[in-house]
Chains A and B, each alone.
Chain A
Amino acid sequence: MRGRVETVRRSFAAAAVAATLALAVPSVASAQAQIAPLPSEMPAQCAVPRALYVDDTTLPKAAKKLAHGKLTVVALGSSTTLGVGASSSDAAWPARLEAELRRRLPQADIAVSNRGKLRDPAAAMVKRMAADALAAKPDLVIWETGTAEAVRNMSAESFAAALEEGAERILGAGAELVLMTPQFSRETARLIAYQPYIEAMGNLSVRADVLIFPRYDVMRHLVETNQLHLEGLSPAQAAATADRLYDCIARQVARVLLRAMAAAPR
């Protein structure tokens, strides 16, 4: 256990050192390893066809709250919600989502809080859900999960049961729920069987009328269309890629949320 924590700490440290280096000494960084520009100045590289978002579930409650000028969102998740690999916590997708929603809805009071925790399986998130996510009385919970289970080859049935319980609690607390699937890369897809877990999320999505954000498919599309390169990166490039990817995910989530709220019956 200590070994694992140590690795993460080391990779964190590596990423942090790399990011600092790149920030402090831009002249040292080669043309390839240049630090990414601030997200707002970024090249698009985040084109995702509409056809990828097949789920037409709407978010009527959130739409209503937004019409009254306020929206409270909680991002519940694991490492990638926390923002592992990014240059700062402001570059994690929940922070970028908040910025993007505020940019697109300047009149509204929008808050997205980050409740990501390193390597948390769904069952553990259900346990900390009440205090961590629901105490803030969110209108919307974006629940990023499934990775820890897939990595450890845990029972997909227990995962489905945990999802079910979590969804019940979130919906029971009066919030609406969006499920976010795991990340995609060619390397990890070869070693990890994500299918059963993504399927469990899809099942719940259809059954409980819960909106799904197919991050796995989005990243796969980005990789396959050469918009996202994940292999053979230097630490500085990896940190820049993380920032850019988190920003892209945030923009895509904003797009899906806004569409789901716009389509809600009034």
Chain B
Amino acid sequence: MEAALRPAGRDLRLDFFRGLGLLFIFIDHVPDNAFSYLTLANFVFCDAAEIFVFLSGYAAVLVFGRQIGAEGTFYASVQVLKRCWTLYVAHIFLFVVYTAQVSWTAQRFENPLFVEEMQVAAFLQEPHVAILQAMLLAHQPLFMNILPLYIVLLAGLAFAMPFLARFGTALLAVSAAAYLAVPFVDFNLPSYPEGTWFFNPFAWQFLFVLGAACGWRAGVQGKPIAIPGFAVWIAAAFLCVVVPVRAWISVGYFFDGVPPAFAELTYLFANKTELGPLRLLRFLALALVVVRIVPREAGWLNSAAARAITLCGQNSLPIFCIGIFLSVAGHSLLVEFGRDLATQAAVTGGGCLLLLGMARVLSWSKTRKRAGAARSGQDA
């Protein structure tokens, strides 16, 4: 078990925080859920999406970057593309689930009062276009906007593989330049039936690349970026200002006290689609402080509770998909059976327990498979 948890000295913090981010994604996606106020989004102006994208970049380079040295660039690129394919299939699966839900409702709920609302089923009238658009990742209904981003980012990584070792710094510079250019050129991928991607990949790639750069230094080159003490202090001071302000804004009643111009400014720079600079800075500050507060060998990371969350991070794709599925189911439960605090707690708690349980089963199955493979190897 221990060996499975810590493959080749893997940084457990990576999986723990990715797991935590996945739980937050589930909780935040259940509307009318008071517990979502307890997640990151309401305190720091950045949320689980940032954690997920940054740590995914980090983890991807950790796993696939090491393969460059061991097996060669081409092999590593192929592995990344295989991972893309898995994600793509997961996305199409979620689309099928969503389509089933919409068509079921459209069949049974014909109320002219909701003509406008039932436009949500408009895509069923042109399935030939809708399916094609879903396959092209342009159709991103409801919460189906994170996976397309992740797929595009990973595909980009596959093609960047040959340049990572020699031109890493140049890649980072190009990535930063693209991020900085986005607000000015207003460039984004189109989505179906109209509009653009919810997560602009040209902006969000920077966070993924930053994560990848950290992963490359720490995991592949084995010399993590040294963080000077003063940077951590600046980050901490920054958070000390940001957290109360964001919490203050979240508690709408006190909003009156925030000067409108100031509130407008913060929203302007905390734009989620383009990964507004405030979001980026806040995430980086949070990351710096957390990395300092939680050392790699922190004892509590091995506690039962932390390990359960870590397992979620180690099975991120299935846990993400099940989480999206559960948040839709959880919302249905709240819609059907009222939304008093007890029901909300039951739905949130129950969903989290299911995710943790599922992660445990998946890890158990992986360990068994490995043990089985080792045993049959010995037999032969």
Residues of A within 8 A of B112 (CB): 11-12, 14-15, 84-85, 235, 238-239, 242
What 13 additional pairs, Cβ within 8 angstroms, besides A147-B117, A155-B195, A239-B112?
Answer: A14-B112, A84-B113, A85-B112, A119-B116, A119-B119, A153-B142, A188-B114, A188-B117, A191-B101, A192-B120, A192-B142, A203-B252, A241-B111
- Residue pair A233, B31 in contact (C-beta under 8 Å): no
- Residue pair A193, B108 in contact (C-beta under 8 Å): no
Chain B residue total in the interface (Cβ 8 A):
48
Stretch with Cβ within 8 A of A (4 or more), from B266-274, B294-302, B349-357, B361-369: B266-274
Instruction: Give a binary string over A160-195; 1 marks a CB under 8 Å from any B CB, 0 the rest.
Output: 100010000000000000000011011111111111
Of residues 230 through 282 on chain B, the ones whose CB sits less than 8 Å from some CB of chain A are: 252-253, 255-256, 258, 260, 263-264, 267, 271-273
In the assembled complex, the Cα of A208 lies from the Cα of B258 at a distance in Å of 11
B contact patch SS = helix
Given contacts A157-B271, A189-B331, A191-B142, contact A238 B111 (CB under 8 A): yes
- Residue pair A118, B116 in contact (C-beta under 8 Å): yes
- Residue pair A151, B116 in contact (C-beta under 8 Å): yes
B140 at the interface (CB under 8 A from A): yes
Stretch with Cβ within 8 A of B (4 or more), from A1-9, A35-43, A133-141: A1-9
**Mind listing 8 A-B residue pairs with CB under 8 Å?**
A84-B113, A185-B111, A186-B335, A190-B328, A192-B142, A202-B252, A207-B258, A239-B112
In the assembled complex, the Cα of A126 lies from the Cα of B131 at a distance in Å of 33
B190 at the interface (CB under 8 A from A): no
Residues of A within 8 A of B260 (CB): 207-208
Residues of A within 8 A of B335 (CB): 186, 189-190
Stretch with Cβ within 8 A of B (4 or more), from A64-72, A98-106, A224-232: A224-232
A252 at the interface (CB under 8 A from B): no
- Residue pair B142, A79 in contact (C-beta under 8 Å): no
- Residue pair A183, B117 in contact (C-beta under 8 Å): yes
Q: Which 3 A-B pairs have the closest CB atoms?
A: A85-B112, A187-B109, A85-B113
Residues of B within 8 A of A194 (CB): 31
B141 at the interface (CB under 8 A from A): yes
Residues of A within 8 A of B195 (CB): 152-155
Option from B110, B120, B126, B332 in Cβ contact (under 8 Å) with A151: B120
Closest to B264 in A: A164
B194 at the interface (CB under 8 A from A): yes
Given contacts A11-B112, A152-B194, contact A188 B120 (CB under 8 A): yes
Option from A11, A182, A185, A192 in Cβ contact (under 8 Å) with B115: A11
Count chain A CB atoms within 10 A of each CB in B117, B195, B271, B338 and give the residue with the most. B117
Residues of A within 8 A of B92 (CB): none
Residues of A within 8 A of B125 (CB): 3-4, 7
- Residue pair A238, B113 in contact (C-beta under 8 Å): yes
In the assembled complex, the Cα of A151 lies from the Cα of B195 at a distance in Å of 13
Option from B117, B126, B256 in Cβ contact (under 8 Å) with A206: B256
| Min CB gap B333→A, angstroms | 10
- Residue pair A193, B142 in contact (C-beta under 8 Å): yes
- Residue pair A231, B108 in contact (C-beta under 8 Å): yes
- Residue pair B143, A193 in contact (C-beta under 8 Å): yes
Instruction: Give a binary string over A10-37; 1 marks a CB under 8 Å from any B CB, 0 the rest.
Output: 0110110000000000000000000000
| Min CB gap A18→B, angstroms | 9
Count chain A CB atoms within 10 A of each CB in B119, B125, B332 and give the residue with the most. B119
